[in-house]
Structure 1
Amino acid sequence: MTWRVAGAARATIGTRAKQEDAFAIWPSAAHPAAQDGEGVLAVVADGMGGHAGGEVAGRLACETFISAFSGRHGAAGDRLHTALGASNSAIAARASETAGLRGMGCTLVGAWIDGAGLRWVSVGDSLLLLFRAPDVLRLNADHSLGAFLDDQARRGKMSAGEAASNPYRNALRSALTGKKIEILDLQGDPYPLAAGDWLILASDGIATLAGDEIGDIVYANRDGAAGEMAERLIAAVEAKRDPDQDNATVVVLKIEDDATATATDESPTRILKLTTPPATGSGLESTQRVRHTPAAYQLFRRYRSWILGIGMGLMFLIGWMLRAALG
């Protein structure tokens, strides 16, 4: 059995003065594959720091990541880890050469798809999402302080209000800065994929859309081309007209049967031979769900104290009326 991987990318600058996101897909016209059919690599980086540092860091990290991964052989997990380290070292070297770039850095998420499945590595808060109807799942870890605080609240170590109101929620616990990488998420074992899956790599600017909004967009366009999907996601971000909209970049990868037609403007389109059966939905329990719970359930959770109080009051009133009626 074989499948086809079709990819496309789109970005918006948002309300920022410059675009500090970067992305790359390999193989491409600029970086051809040495062996046809090996796999597809996608990477997204979100730059930060200084007048031009963020833009340089993101672009440099993506270029180095592709070069280091494609120039190395061996286990995919080792190649991803090596490519991440090479990107971090490249940032350190460039910053040491140019005083104006000191303090620059970026987040990074890289995903490799071959016949065995999906592997990834990430640092920071950029996202790797899997759409497998009807759910959208976040596969990689979120290294923002906000994600850590929310986890502490779920564990009962702080209140949800304290976690939500922390002024440093957007701070990163780990990033590529040229220094030691404090935290990274590396999936070296293949994560099983199936025809019909969509993968989305995105900078955190996509968070303007709620999880259910992303799910609705992907579901509505699931039979379309990768380029169309990427355009719809970015258009939805821009339609929010958020006055503080960050750069937003998406790379979408469509996994489909070999017999399915693919639009000619998509790059790359590769045929991969499956070495394992497609996933049937098992093994998803450990992933973080992005898709929101139903609105009725959210309403109950928000006002459950009032609802329970009113319910108890009604029960008391009914009991009093019954006692009065029975004398």
Structure 2
Amino acid sequence: MLATPAYDIALILDKGQRDTQEDAVASRMFDAANAGYVVVADGMGGHAAGEVASDLVIRAWRDSLDAELESETPSEAALIDALPLAAMQANALIANHCEDQGGDFNMGSTLLGVLLLGQRLFWISIGDSPLYLFRDGSLQQINEDHSMAPAIDAQLAEGTLTEAEALAHPDRNQLTSVIMGAAIPKVDCPEEPLDLTPSDILILGSDGLQYLGNSEIQDILRSNANALAQDIAGALQSALQAKGDPDQDNASIGVVKLTKN
């Protein structure tokens, strides 16, 4: 009998100080396929637009992956191909919805989806929703940030901006790639997987999670390294709420651990 690396997964949605919830999340485990996934979508466009966009992204993801993962003999090649296909399908759904609304109706969403095949991690990322790996006591964002933040932080490193200027820069959250029914400029979808270890912790989020700094997230994970995924997610949510930021955005929090058998 083959050993199956079970996954400990927890998801939390927090509305923050916004009037509506435009984030959407989903996860599912497939024991027979020795696989699982988590997906986060951060919609934009306001009520009845951003929340629709994020829901369409989740729907496209499920449509692309569930049927293959539910089959008796899932094809690994087809599963890996399903990641960009999910993005294309989401883009088409959003384009069709915008066309149905007529006029200059616009909406969009980020996509951060991870596929776990055994201990191997594949992902696709479009937008600024972060994917963090906590390993050996250190936190690292492992996906690309499709916003102006990296360019602004480069100016900070060069000394042309102060830290205060970089953090308060008006273009910091401007996206350089997003799913909105048009051409997608940037897609982060590595061909080679990342091999996980039982002590690793994955954190997925919308950019609302980044009201916590990387050092704050790292400290929370160091203090909760052996905790259940739901307790880690709860600790991150509590830290966000304790900040009491009046501008706190919707926050999605996904935590993934391999179960130590």
Q: TM-score, normalised by structure 2?
A: 0.89
- In the aligned structure 2, how far is the partner of 1:165 from the partner of 1:128? 23
Look up the match of 1:278. none
Q: Paired residue for 2:193, among 190, 198, 209? A: 190
- In the aligned structure 2, how far is the partner of 1:97 from the partner of 1:121? 28
Bigger Cα displacement from structure 2, 68-77 vs 183-192: 68-77
Q: What SS does structure 1 have at the residue aligned with 2:82?
A: helix
Aligned-residue offset at 1:190: 1.2
Look up the match of 2:59. 63
Equivalent position amino acid for 1:160 in 2: L
Aligned-residue offset at 1:2: 4.5
Q: What CA deviation, in whole Å up to 9, does each residue of 1:76-124 have, x standing for no partner?
A: 4322111111111111112222348921101110011112511101011
Q: Paired residue for 1:121, among 101, 124, 130? A: 124
Look up the match of 2:32. 36
Contact 2:22 2:46 in 1 (8 A): no
Aligned-residue offset at 1:164: 5.2
Q: What SS does structure 2 have at the residue aligned with 1:113?
A: strand
Residue correspondences, number: 250
Gap runs ≥5 in structure 2: 69-74
Gap runs ≥5 in structure 1: 28-32, 259-327
- In the aligned structure 2, how far is the partner of 1:39 from the partner of 1:207? 28
Look up the match of 1:159. 160
Matched, 1:179 2:182: yes
Contact 2:23 2:251 in 1 (8 A): yes
Contact 2:41 2:54 in 1 (8 A): yes
Q: What SS does structure 1 have at the residue aligned with 2:5?
A: strand
Equivalent position amino acid for 2:134 in 1: F
- In the aligned structure 2, how far is the partner of 1:112 from the partner of 1:171? 27
- In the aligned structure 1, how far is the partner of 2:161 from the partner of 2:61? 38
Q: 1:14 to 1:164 in 2, by over 3 A?
A: closer
- Give runs of aligned pairs for residues 1-327 of structure 1, distance below 5 A: 2-27=4-29, 33=30, 36-72=32-68, 73-75=75-77, 76-99=79-102, 102-115=105-118, 117-151=120-154, 154=157, 156=158, 159-161=160-162, 166-258=169-261
Q: 1:175 to 1:6 in 2, by over 3 A?
A: same
Q: What SS does structure 2 have at the residue aligned with 1:25?
A: strand
Q: 1:239 to 1:163 in 2, by over 3 A?
A: closer
Structure 1 ranges of 4+ moved more than 6 A? none
Q: What CA deviation, in whole Å up to 9, does each residue of 1:291-326 have, x standing for no partner?
A: xxxxxxxxxxxxxxxxxxxxxxxxxxxxxxxxxxxx
- In the aligned structure 2, how far is the partner of 1:226 from the partner of 1:218? 10
Q: 1:163 to 1:219 in 2, by over 3 A?
A: closer
Contact 2:177 2:185 in 1 (8 A): yes
Q: What SS does structure 2 have at the residue aligned with 1:187?
A: coil
Contact 1:77 1:119 in 2 (8 A): yes
Contact 2:44 2:50 in 1 (8 A): yes
RMSD, aligned α-carbons: 2.0
Equivalent position amino acid for 2:19 in 1: A
Equivalent position amino acid for 2:145 in 1: D
Q: What CA deviation, in whole Å up to 9, does each residue of 1:108-167 have, x standing for no partner?
A: 10011112511101011001111113101111000111222323554x5x8134755642
